[in-house]
Amino acid sequence: MTFVLDAPERSTIPVAVVAPPRGIVRAARFLVRSGPAHAVMIALSLAAVAPLMSLAITAFSPSSVAGGGTAGFTLDNFAYVFATIPMAEMMLDTTIMALAMTVAQLLVALFAAYAFALYEFRGKKLLYLLFVSSWLVPFQVTMIPNYVLVSQLGLLNTIAGVIVPNLCSAFAVIMLRQHVRAIPRELIDAASIDGRGSWATLWLVVVPNLRPALASLAVVLFISAWNDYTWPLIVMQQDPSVVQVGIRSFLGAEGNNWGAIMAASGLACLPVFALYLVLQRRIVDGFVRSGLK
């Protein structure tokens, strides 16, 4: 007796295939394509924010010794800073120093960039090359000659001694020269046809077109001057009247007062934040146009 197994008959009922929603598909594709990049950006953002969080936690911590704050909230560290050092006077002197350096560097850079970009004169390329070369010289090379110059001028332990060697910034000249060259030549020629001289063309045509670049450059120069520590430390050895040098008072052989250091550092950050908030729109515009990041 033999049994024969017949093949099962195929079902004639159509089977519906359920496709995933388009939103899920798009989200999956987004995660595959952009997930690693976003993970890296999140990690970098956390690394950038972590020091600020540490500063805030330590500054407002009740314990002000050895960076080991206890739970709680207090303003004692800020009160201790104002009671120990003349913080308000230091902030004022530092603001004057940073503003003076920023304004001077902007004016010198504006005049130099205007000349390098729009005028032809003998030795122009060589002079510009010297400007660029000075930007590449390390600070340690010019430190001693500048100190001798400031000493001979009698400017040691003064704010002027910090400002004078930093009246010109090669970086600012290079950056503004590129922006001036980007201004349409027709605007300059039209001003010349209207009878405008070089001085009037600079302030009525060039400067209005450079406002975003000048704003972004002003913030960069101000932050650079505000955060400079080494040169003020060298010049103002007997009169630490700037914030960067004054914070050093809380460092000692018996221990560092981290709470006071972080409180003073937080106060020192406020003028920079205020300047950024005021010029935020122009800064972003200037950075986008210049490619500076």
Helices (H) and strands (E) in the chain — how many of each? 15, 0
- Cα separation, 107 vs 207, whole angstroms: 11
Is 100 a residue whose pLDDT tops 90? yes
When pLDDT is averaged across residues 123-128 and rounded to a whole number, the result is 88
Task: Between 96 and 241, name the one with better pLDDT.
Answer: 96
User: What φ, ψ does residue 65 adopt, rounded to 5°?
Assistant: -120, 130
Least confident of 107-116, 127-136, 155-164, 235-244: 235-244
For 128-132, the CB contacts below 8 A with 24+ separation are 128/177, 131/170, 131/173, 131/174, 132/170, 132/174
User: Shortest CA distance to 105 belongs to which of 186, 10, 173, 14?
Assistant: 173
pLDDT band at 293 (very low <50, low <70, confident <90, very high): very low
Contact 95, 290 (CB under 8 A): no
Write the pLDDT tens digit of every residue in 167-208: 988 889 988 998 898 888 888 888 888 888 888 999 998 999
Is 70 a residue whose pLDDT tops 80? no
Is 160 a residue whose pLDDT tops 50? yes
